[in-house]
Chain A
Amino acid sequence: MHGLRRVGILGVGIVPFDKYEDVLVEDIARPAVIAAMKDAGVGRTDIDASFVSHLYQGEVLGQRILKGLRFPEITITNIENACAGGSSAVREAWLSIATGEHDMVLVIGAEKMGRGLINFVSPDVELTLGNTAPAQYALAARRHMHEFGTSPEAFAKIGVKSRHHASLNPNARFRDALTLDEVMTSRPIADPITLYQCCRNGSGAAALVLGTEEKCAARPGPSVWIESSALASVMADKEQRDLTSFGATRTAATQAYEEAGIGAEDIDIVELHDAFTTGELLHYEGLGLCAKGGGEQLVSDGDTSLGGRVPVNVSGGLLSKSHPLGATGVAQFCELVWQLRGDAEGRQVEDARTALAHSQGGTGLEAGATCVTVLTRGT
């Protein structure tokens, strides 16, 4: 895209994910909004519009949240794109500033979840026949094992890595270290996926303030720029496709790299959609962090661990933070902004200059959305 204005992230705020059983979703979300606004150093009259992501929270969530903070009558758009809703909201906010419609925009992701398997609302023959979210990722993993000789341990190592990273992040929910044996022998969910290779449901919220270059200049400290953001879909309809990688991840990544004028080798840190360990390994390949079939080698060499070549999910990811659907994609940006500013105390990726956020959602492997966004550190 040409002729776009430069957009930066001025402020971030998170309400660490947990159960929050007795708290209304509006009350979960408001502290995240306040934190992001304070971090940006702006007030409610500075905000032109808000994009708000959620999946199960009913009508006009954004309006319900912001009226309790006495916002003026700004433009509010509520966004649903399954588990990629948060990143889709960030992308819409970016575009609304980049194209000149707004100068400063608030992004909110909030979700309050129950327990157990995600309850898909839309009727679908696969789901009726007993397919589940973990089973979908297990089906992709099993084919990957067949084609590339990937071992079940490769996936389990990602579970170990996630908990190690989480032990360093006070915002993570599950911070106790796990051994490879503990991950491998935890309760089977959908072969080869075991319990500690699945993200848990969670409730929580995250918020960002985005603004023009002029707005960012007013904030002290290093700026964080959105270089590109690409949103791709999967529209397969019972076709015999390659399930060992996610086509929408490849498409969105290719487009995001191209628009940012960089390659996968330029990425210093990644937050990606690790709803299941098997998904993370397949996304390494889809994002081009390694060649196809190279996922096991990458994780075994420690390349995606803190201190490695391209650390992935240093926040602990969905696996250790849990997964409040609409908030997840927004929270990834909180971690990446802290990392790019050099403020990720105890888990800082050294000299992180270029970051990638990836999130994925849908009702199955054949219908969904994937968003890839590239961020850089300014001066």
Chain B
Amino acid sequence: MTSPAAPENNLVEQPIWTGLMGRDEGGAFLVGGKCSTCGFTTLGLRDICPECWAQGTMTETAIGRRGRLYTYTVIHQLPHGYEEPFAVGYVDLDDGIRVFAHIENTPDCLVIGGELELTSAALRRDDTGTALTGPKYHSPNSGET
């Protein structure tokens, strides 16, 4: 992935969505919630379990490290804050959840059914120039770039 130059205001980067990602010795992960009552797993930590409706029973769990590409597109008509076309897709996680995420825009990563692993990357800048980071998947064979 490309690293944007540090902006002048020293706010180098911040998450694009608070509470979406974490990092531990195993690398980047998506924050999931697992219900201690029924075991249901969600993307994001939620107050109410969508399955059994128990409140306050969801505890944080690391998900989303690996998955397979279900589908993808390259977005050319850019939403606000983006400067060049970028690839996105749905990734079917080993955890049984499907997530929308950025995908490394290279032929070896944009393969439906292909294995992908999660990284944290600068996705776009906000209006002050701060780089906003979020989930981006790439092929394990493409190596860290």
Chain A interface (Cβ < 8 Å from any Cβ of B): 117, 125-126, 128-132, 134-135, 138-140, 142-143, 146, 187-193, 237-241, 243
B41, closest chain A residue (CB) = A238
Interface window among B3-11, B54-62, B67-75: B67-75
8 Å CB contact of A237 from B20, B50, B75, B90: B50
Known: A135-B75, A192-B73. 7 other contacts (CB 8 A): A126-B100, A131-B88, A138-B73, A143-B70, A189-B77, A237-B42, A238-B43
With the chains together, A193 CA to B76 CA distance in Å?
10
Contact between chains at B123 and A129 (CB < 8 Å): yes
CB distance from A63 to the nearest CB of B (A): 34
Contact between chains at A240 and B98 (CB < 8 Å): yes
B134, closest chain A residue (CB) = A129
Contact between chains at B76 and A189 (CB < 8 Å): yes
Which of B50, B74, B76, B89 has most chain A Cβ within 10 Å? B76
Contact between chains at A142 and B17 (CB < 8 Å): no
- A contact residues around B77 at 8 Å (CB): 117, 132, 134, 187, 189-190
A242, closest chain B residue (CB) = B70
CB distance from B21 to the nearest CB of A (A): 11
- A contact residues around B92 at 8 Å (CB): 240
With the chains together, A240 CA to B92 CA distance in Å?
7
Contact between chains at A239 and B73 (CB < 8 Å): no
Contact between chains at A130 and B79 (CB < 8 Å): yes
With the chains together, A187 CA to B78 CA distance in Å?
12
8 Å CB contact of B73 from A135, A238, A241: A135
Closest 4 CB pairs of A and B: A138-B73, A143-B71, A188-B76, A126-B100
Give the bracket for the number of chain B residues in contact with chain A. 35 or more
Does residue B12 face the partner (Cβ distance < 8 Å to A)?
no
Contact pattern, B 110-126, Cβ under 8 Å of A = 1, otherwise 0:
00100000000001100
Enumerate 20 A-B pairs (CB-CB under 8 Å) in ascending A order: A125-B43, A128-B16, A129-B16, A130-B82, A130-B102, A130-B123, A131-B88, A132-B77, A132-B79, A135-B73, A135-B75, A142-B71, A143-B71, A187-B77, A188-B76, A189-B76, A190-B73, A190-B77, A238-B42, A240-B92
With the chains together, A264 CA to B70 CA distance in Å?
30
With the chains together, A237 CA to B92 CA distance in Å?
13
Chain B interface (Cβ < 8 Å from any Cβ of A): 16-17, 20, 42-44, 50, 70-77, 79, 82, 85-86, 88-90, 92, 96-102, 112, 123-124, 134-135
Contact between chains at B70 and A129 (CB < 8 Å): no
With the chains together, A307 CA to B112 CA distance in Å?
38
With the chains together, A142 CA to B100 CA distance in Å?
15
CB distance from B106 to the nearest CB of A (A): 14
CB distance from B71 to the nearest CB of A (A): 4
Contact between chains at A241 and B79 (CB < 8 Å): no
- B contact residues around A239 at 8 Å (CB): 97-98
CB distance from B112 to the nearest CB of A (A): 5
With the chains together, A140 CA to B73 CA distance in Å?
9
CB distance from A138 to the nearest CB of B (A): 4
CB distance from B110 to the nearest CB of A (A): 9
With the chains together, A142 CA to B87 CA distance in Å?
13
Contact between chains at B102 and A129 (CB < 8 Å): yes
A144, closest chain B residue (CB) = B71
Contact between chains at A139 and B90 (CB < 8 Å): yes
Which of B20, B50, B76, B100 has most chain A Cβ within 10 Å? B100
With the chains together, A132 CA to B88 CA distance in Å?
10
With the chains together, A65 CA to B90 CA distance in Å?
43
With the chains together, A148 CA to B88 CA distance in Å?
21
Q: Would A130 and B86 be within 8 Å (CB), given that A143-B112, A238-B98, A240-B92 are in contact?
A: yes
B76, closest chain A residue (CB) = A188
8 Å CB contact of A243 from B20, B90, B123: B90
Q: Would A187 and B123 be within 8 Å (CB), given that A129-B134, A240-B92 are in contact?
A: no
- A contact residues around B71 at 8 Å (CB): 139-140, 142-143, 146, 243
